[in-house]
């Protein structure tokens, strides 16, 4: 199936033509790859991947491919007969890399980065081979207890009190869903047992989040049977942070209408502009109204490693639950999201279900069975890669890297502010800069629809031109209905020169496009 | 942190004492592990893992450790300073392996196996290094299109028609949750938008599944706001298959009570006894009642690879959705669950949500953005490992392996039937044998509570004794309230001698325990 591998890196013995007769899959055996073949193929894979990571900067970050082009090159019918492992591995440089969006490229500054750090990759490799399933303590003592240890390490590194315990999930979407499901139970709705339909005695539940909160909150409401309509989007202030007066008004209106507020989601580091909701005041309201407070710090949380930046997190220690994603700014390969809560029994009430075939007979010592706290039964061992990388970098190493990214963003913000043809659209509190091109010649009154439309179109063209260079990948959002370019720094491999290059490209492409 | 590594396999240069000064994490650098160090550490990891897989049979499958013992050995405080990678890797044989439940051991016949096959492990390794996130086509063309290809390959290999499309999720729990969420939309409840609470115009939704259906169905109902009470457990016949008369009666009763049936879940290969519900008749009822039919073949589905065994799957082509888990009997490392559906727009209606920061600007050609079909936004690239292993084994190779496991189970069933002191408790249609010890001397009238209790206790002791040998790991269930030992064959590394050994141990330990 190999087509056009442009990097011939496979040792000769792994050449497809050289493997005939060596392969148990071809010899009629019914087991796995032989241990010797696994060892050899895995060493070859190491070199493929080390070469890739060494050379990743040579790729255009966004592959220059049309949708459907790769699919069209592959057979619709699955192969009936075995292929040699050498042929399969040759497709990594031949087909996979040329069609990948290079998240590991140091110029990847779109969305929020997910870095597969070296120790994280090794952790995933070990995890795959051991094949643990820490759904029960019994099915993986090491998976279960390393997760308890790593959850504790992260909690302490973030400066949160002992009252928080937690678990590792796949994504912030799942972590927030679990938090809101727990809020449903904590509110006394008994939704896990009785559901929400056909119960005239309960008012429609409502979850509050700012209009800048992540889409995963609305999606959790959809999934949980609350509905998108249950997600009350609260207006934000000039810095895109939740307006407490608007929250109070919404709460009062919903109470008056007989609805049942159950949770407030405060964000520390929103997706569009990394805004910080006023958590201390929101926590007071949550306490007064007996609502579950969930803090979404999926991206921003890592900055709590840095004592000087902990002011951004004031009040989060009062939350009922907090999500921070190691697979964002903790350099952990997908997937790993940390959900912390001081009310673990509510999580368990939302998800515990123990059929006979999952009862273990060794309950003389109480054990922690993680499946009781999440929607899924089976689960990957996500703790090992974190155990590897926290030890490899050390908390101080992680802290210095996160801080360095923030400083890079602050420098870029200063550069943007100093350029009369560019405009910064949001405060820079973490490592993301929101900006737009606003050439002096194009500037009119913003309120004129024509001016706004021309600025939007110009910035869309500018971003496309910068991304087309392949050296940098930026994404966009809308802030106050303005097309906004985001430069999100947080990739472990990004150095000062890459941020400087992104800024130089924005300036150069803007000059080239003209006003 | 290494304590008592009993296998010294690290090359000298990776020795903790030898790395000082080599480690960028220790030199004040702020990037990742250097490419050279990654290459070297990854090669060392290959040897650790190849040794592990080569020697896995030497381990006791269940580690002889007390709950909490590992955790007690690890510091509660995270390390402030970096550790050399050599020290971290030394803990794989030193701490991780001795505390793992060895799912890769050929004597692992508990639950349903999850084999990390050689090509599957390599696929995970590549996946970790590339760090793709195929949430959008744009964020990973290769992840998106390989997933489309592999979904098509699996569908064809299973003999299902073109009308089915689908996606890869983490677990069957999530796949079934998505299916039931789609059923909610297909039933016109508009639950994603409006939720289920405070709507007197809709009756309480009901989902039908047999009393032997997997707990994930009830858990999905809990999560989705339908509640456990919405999961109507239908009685089963002597073979533990859903009784269609009982289904009809339940449907009629719920309609009469003003409730709203939305879905029927039929299982092909239940967890306790691998029973097969009468899908053709259930499909007729679903069609007549306009209900979503979801088929849970998470474990059993792989047997559809074998044309001679496809009779077990009669009618499943009429389903609205089907789940089959590659991480069960397709030798794929955790996690990978295949959800197929002929009604993808209903899945999309349940989960699609596209905020501005996820809009891509390249929609001239329509693209497939997988996040719109699942509860999470971010997602791992799960297709690559399947692409690797389907090609490595070939569909014929997978088919012969699955068929061999079924034959091993049939042989064991014959052995059990031929032993007057043992009793088989369920038909063997796949690769799992349900049995109990029933020594002639203990046999009385089953109805006498004393006899039943003594049989249960004797079988619990027997299973514990067999598991204590470390050579075999079996799990249990209850069938008609009888303690039942399950021998679940399906591990790629299990050979005939391992099944024979399991049976010999059951007989020998029974003889040793006495009647």
CATH, residue A40: 1.20.1340.10
Q: Which two tokens stand for residue B395?
A: 């569909």
Q: What is the pTM of this model?
A: 0.95
Task: Examine the pLDDT at B157 and tell me if it is beyond 50.
Answer: yes
Residue finishing a domain among B324, B348, B380: B380
- Chain A: nearest CA to B477, how far in angstroms? 5
DSSP track, B290-302: T-EEEEE-TTGGG
Average pLDDT in chain A: 92
Residue finishing a domain among A301, A333, A353: A353
pLDDT bin (cut points 50, 70, 90) of residue B442 is low
- The predicted structure's pLDDT at residue A208: 98
Instruction: Give the Cα separation of B221 and A191 in Å (integer).
Output: 10
Q: Determine, for residues A33 and B81 on separate chains, whether the beta-carbon distance falls below 8 Å.
A: no
| Count of CB atoms situated within 10 Å of the CB of A27 | 11
Nearest by CB to B464, from A125, A327, A361: name it: A361
Q: Is residue B87 part of a domain?
A: no
How many domains would you assign to chain B?
2
- The predicted structure's pLDDT at residue A356: 72
Q: C-alpha dihedral over B348, A485, A53, A122, to 10 degrees?
A: -60
pLDDT in tens, A173-231: 999 999 999 999 999 999 999 999 999 999 999 999 999 999 999 999 999 999 999 99
CB A502 within 8 A of CB A472: yes
Which of B140, B167, B371 shows the shortest CA–CA distance to A96?
Answer: B140
Q: Which two tokens stand for residue B187?
A: 């039933």
- The predicted structure's pLDDT at residue B67: 94
- Within 8 A by CB and 6+ apart from A484, the residues are A272, A273, A425, A426, A434, A435, A436, A459, A476, A477, A478
pLDDT bin (cut points 50, 70, 90) of residue A445 is low
Residue of A nearest to B351 (CA): A219
Q: Determine, for residues B96 and A142 on separate chains, whether the beta-carbon distance falls below 8 Å.
A: yes
Nearest by CB to A30, from B41, B204, B401: name it: B401
| Mutation target among B3, B129, B364 for the A interface, most CBs of A within 10 A | B129
Give CA separation, B4 vs B7, B84, B91, B293, in Å: 9, 18, 9, 54
- The predicted structure's pLDDT at residue B19: 37
Q: Is residue B55 part of a domain?
A: no
Task: Examine the pLDDT at B2 and tell me if it is beyond 50.
Answer: no
Instruction: Give the Cα separation of A54 and B37 in Å (integer).
Output: 11
Residues A70 and A183 grouped into a single domain: no
State the first-to-last Cα distance of chain B, in angstroms, to the nearest integer.
Answer: 48
Nearest by CB to A388, from B47, B88, B353: name it: B88
Q: Which two tokens stand for residue A108?
A: 């990847």
Residue finishing a domain among A330, A353, A376: A353
Half-sphere exposure of A238 (CA within 13 A, CB side): 0
Residues B223 and B367 grouped into a single domain: yes
Q: Are strands B321-324 and B292-296 parallel, antiparallel or unpaired?
A: parallel
Q: Determine, for residues A397 and B82 on separate chains, whether the beta-carbon distance falls below 8 Å.
A: yes
A46-55 average pLDDT score? 97
- The predicted structure's pLDDT at residue B30: 85
- The predicted structure's pLDDT at residue A365: 65
Between A384-388, B177-181, B355-359, B445-449, the lowest mean confidence (pLDDT) is in B445-449
Q: Determine, for residues B379 and A171 on separate chains, whether the beta-carbon distance falls below 8 Å.
A: yes
Which of B316, B298, B273, B312 shows the shortest CA–CA distance to B409?
Answer: B273
CB B375 within 8 A of CB B174: yes
Q: Is residue B47 part of a domain?
A: no
- Chain A: nearest CA to B150, how far in angstroms? 8
pLDDT in tens, B110-135: 999 999 999 999 999 999 999 999 99
Residues B368 and B406 grouped into a single domain: no
B18-31 average pLDDT score? 49
- Chain B: nearest CA to A190, how far in angstroms? 8
CB B130 within 8 A of CB A45: no
- Chain A: nearest CA to B455, how far in angstroms? 16
Residues B402 and B315 grouped into a single domain: no
Contact residues on chain B for A225, CB-CB shorter than 8 A: 184, 191, 195-197, 224-226
Residue of B nearest to A354 (CA): B215
pLDDT in tens, A280-326: 999 999 999 999 999 999 999 999 999 999 999 999 999 999 999 99
pLDDT bin (cut points 50, 70, 90) of residue B444 is low
Which of A53, A159, A153, A140 shows the shortest CA–CA distance to A103?
Answer: A53
Nearest by CB to B227, from A125, A194, A205: name it: A194
Instruction: Give the Cα separation of B311 and B160 in Å (integer).
Output: 13
- The predicted structure's pLDDT at residue A448: 75
Q: Determine, for residues A133 and B124 on separate chains, whether the beta-carbon distance falls below 8 Å.
A: no
Nearest by CB to B53, from A38, A221, A378: name it: A38
B378-388 average pLDDT score? 98
CB B294 within 8 A of CB B323: yes
Residues B282 and B398 grouped into a single domain: no
- The predicted structure's pLDDT at residue A73: 96
CB B110 within 8 A of CB B39: no
Contact residues on chain B for A183, CB-CB shorter than 8 A: none
Q: C-alpha dihedral over A41, A44, A49, A55, to 10 degrees?
A: -160
Contact residues on chain A for B78, CB-CB shorter than 8 A: 153-154, 156-157, 390, 395
Give CA separation, B436 vs A497, B108, B247, B485, B511, in Å: 69, 18, 30, 6, 14
Instruction: Give the Cα separation of B283 and B266 in Å (integer).
Output: 9
A102-123 average pLDDT score? 97
Among residues of chain A, what percentage have pLDDT more than 90? Answer: 88
Between A79-83, A340-344, B442-446, B458-462, the lowest mean confidence (pLDDT) is in B442-446
| Mutation target among B172, B376, B406 for the A interface, most CBs of A within 10 A | B376
What CATH number has the domain bearing residue B308?
3.40.640.10
DSSP track, B312-357: GGTTGGG-SEEEE-HHHHT---S--EEEEES-HHHHHHHH----GG
B230-254 average pLDDT score? 98
- The predicted structure's pLDDT at residue A354: 79
Among residues of chain A, what percentage have pLDDT more than 70? Answer: 92
Q: Determine, for residues B101 and A131 on separate chains, whether the beta-carbon distance falls below 8 Å.
A: no
Q: Which two tokens stand for residue A360?
A: 């273990």
Residues A314 and A215 grouped into a single domain: yes
B257-276 average pLDDT score? 97
- Chain A: nearest CA to B373, how far in angstroms? 11
Which of B339, B340, B307, B401 shows the shortest CA–CA distance to B113?
Answer: B401
pLDDT bin (cut points 50, 70, 90) of residue A15 is very low
CB B375 within 8 A of CB A217: no
The DSSP H or E segment spanning A166 is strand A165-169
Phi then psi for residue A198, to 5 deg, are: 65, 35
Instruction: Give the Cα separation of A169 and B348 in Å (integer).
Output: 23
Q: Is residue B84 part of a domain?
A: no
pLDDT bin (cut points 50, 70, 90) of residue A8 is very low
Task: Examine the pLDDT at B28 and tell me if it is beyond 50.
Answer: no
Between A19-33, A433-447, B380-394, B400-414, the lowest mean confidence (pLDDT) is in A19-33
- Chain A: nearest CA to B16, how far in angstroms? 12
Q: Is residue B19 part of a domain?
A: no
Residues B341 and B411 grouped into a single domain: no
Contact residues on chain B for A379, CB-CB shorter than 8 A: 171, 334-335
pLDDT in tens, A347-372: 999 999 977 777 766 555 678 899 99
Contact residues on chain B for A120, CB-CB shorter than 8 A: 128
- Within 8 A by CB and 6+ apart from B50, the residues are A35, A38, A39, A42
Q: Is residue B386 part of a domain?
A: no
- The predicted structure's pLDDT at residue A22: 41
Residues A40 and A182 grouped into a single domain: no
Task: Examine the pLDDT at B245 and tell me if it is beyond 70.
Answer: yes
pLDDT in tens, B475-488: 999 999 999 999 99
pLDDT bin (cut points 50, 70, 90) of residue B18 is very low
Q: Is residue B475 part of a domain?
A: yes
pLDDT bin (cut points 50, 70, 90) of residue A442 is low
Contact residues on chain A for B389, CB-CB shorter than 8 A: none
Q: Determine, for residues B195 and A128 on separate chains, whether the beta-carbon distance falls below 8 Å.
A: no
Average pLDDT in chain B: 92
Nearest by CB to A334, from B131, B181, B203: name it: B131
The DSSP H or E segment spanning A374 is none
Query: Which residues constitute the domain of residue B481?
Result: 391-513
Contact residues on chain A for B330, CB-CB shorter than 8 A: none
Q: Determine, for residues B65 and A216 on separate chains, whether the beta-carbon distance falls below 8 Å.
A: no
Q: Determine, for residues A88 and B138 on separate chains, whether the beta-carbon distance falls below 8 Å.
A: no
Q: Is residue A140 part of a domain?
A: no
Task: Examine the pLDDT at A44 and tell me if it is beyond 70.
Answer: yes
Q: Determine, for residues A224 and B228 on separate chains, whether the beta-carbon distance falls below 8 Å.
A: no
- The predicted structure's pLDDT at residue A514: 85
SS3 state at A267: strand
- The predicted structure's pLDDT at residue A29: 65
Residues B361 and B400 grouped into a single domain: no
Contact residues on chain A for B474, CB-CB shorter than 8 A: none
Residues B365 and B283 grouped into a single domain: yes
What CATH number has the domain bearing residue A494?
3.90.1150.10
Task: Examine the pLDDT at B4 and tell me if it is beyond 60.
Answer: no
State the first-to-last Cα distance of chain A, in angstroms, to the nearest integer.
Answer: 48
Residues A181 and A63 grouped into a single domain: no
Residues B417 and B296 grouped into a single domain: no
CB B367 within 8 A of CB B138: yes
CB A130 within 8 A of CB A140: no
Cβ burial of A12 (10 Å; 0-12, 13-18, 19+) is exposed
Q: Determine, for residues B67 and A361 on separate chains, whether the beta-carbon distance falls below 8 Å.
A: no
């Amino acid at each position: 199936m190999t087509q056009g591998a442009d990097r011939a890196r496979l040792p000769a013995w792994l050449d497809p033509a050289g493997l005939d007769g060596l392969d148990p899959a071809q010899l009629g055996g019914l087991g796995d790859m032989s241990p010797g073949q696994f060892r050899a193929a895995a060493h070859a894979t190491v070199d493929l991947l080390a070469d890739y990571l060494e050379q990743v900067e040579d790729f255009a970050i966004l592959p220059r491919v049309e949708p459907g082009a790769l699919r069209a090159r592959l057979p619709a019918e699955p192969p009936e007969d075995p292929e040699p492992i050498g042929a399969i591995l040759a497709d990594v440089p031949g087909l996979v890399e040329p069609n990948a969006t290079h998240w590991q490229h140091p110029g990847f500054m779109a969305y929020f980065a997910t870095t597969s750090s070296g120790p994280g990759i090794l952790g995933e490799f070990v995890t795959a081979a051991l094949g643990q399933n820490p759904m029960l303590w019994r099915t993986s003592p090491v998976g279960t207890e390393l997760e308890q240890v790593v959850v504790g390490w992260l909690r302490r590194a973030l400066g949160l009190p002992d009252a928080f315990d937690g678990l590792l999930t796949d994504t912030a979407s799942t972590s927030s869903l679990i938090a809101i499901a727990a809020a449903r139970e904590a509110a006394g709705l008994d939704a896990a047992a009785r559901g929400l339909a056909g119960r005239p005695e309960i008012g429609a539940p409502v979850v509050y989040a700012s209009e800048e909160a992540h889409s995963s909150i609305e999606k959790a409401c959809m999934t949980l049977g609350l509905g998108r309509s249950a997600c009350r989007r609260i207006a934000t202030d000039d810095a895109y942070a939740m307006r407490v007066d608007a929250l109070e008004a919404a709460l009062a209106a919903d109470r008056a209408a007989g609805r049942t507020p159950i949770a407030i989601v405060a964000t520390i580091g929103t997706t569009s502009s990394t805004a910080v909701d006023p958590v201390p005041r929101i926590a007071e309201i949550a306490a007064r109204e007996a609502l579950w407070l969930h803090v979404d710090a999926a991206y921003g949380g890592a900055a709590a490693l840095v004592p000087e930046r902990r002011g951004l997190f004031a009040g989060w220690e009062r939350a009922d639950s907090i999500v921070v994603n190691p697979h964002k700014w903790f350099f952990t390969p997908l997937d790993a999201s940390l959900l912390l809560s001081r009310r673990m029994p509510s999580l368990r009430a939302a998800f515990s279900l123990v059929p006979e075939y999952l009862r273990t007979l060794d309950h003389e010592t109480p054990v922690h069975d993680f499946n009781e706290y999440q929607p899924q039964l089976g689960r990957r061992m996500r703790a090992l890669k974190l155990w590897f990388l926290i030890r490899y970098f050390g908390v101080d190493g992680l802290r210095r890297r996160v801080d360095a990214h923030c400083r890079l963003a602050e420098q870029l913000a200063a550069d943007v502010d100093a350029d009369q043809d560019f405009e910064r659209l949001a405060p820079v509190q973490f490592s993301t800069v929101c900006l737009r091109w606003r050439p002096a010649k194009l500037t009119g009154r913003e309120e004129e629809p024509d001016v706004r439309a021309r600025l939007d179109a110009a910035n869309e063209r500018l971003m496309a031109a910068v991304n087309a260079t392949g050296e940098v990948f930026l994404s966009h959002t809308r802030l106050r209905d303005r097309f906004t370019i985001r430069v999100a720094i947080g990739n472990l491999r990004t150095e000062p020169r890459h941020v400087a290059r992104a800024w130089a490209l924005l300036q150069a492409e803007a000059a080239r496009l003209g006003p």
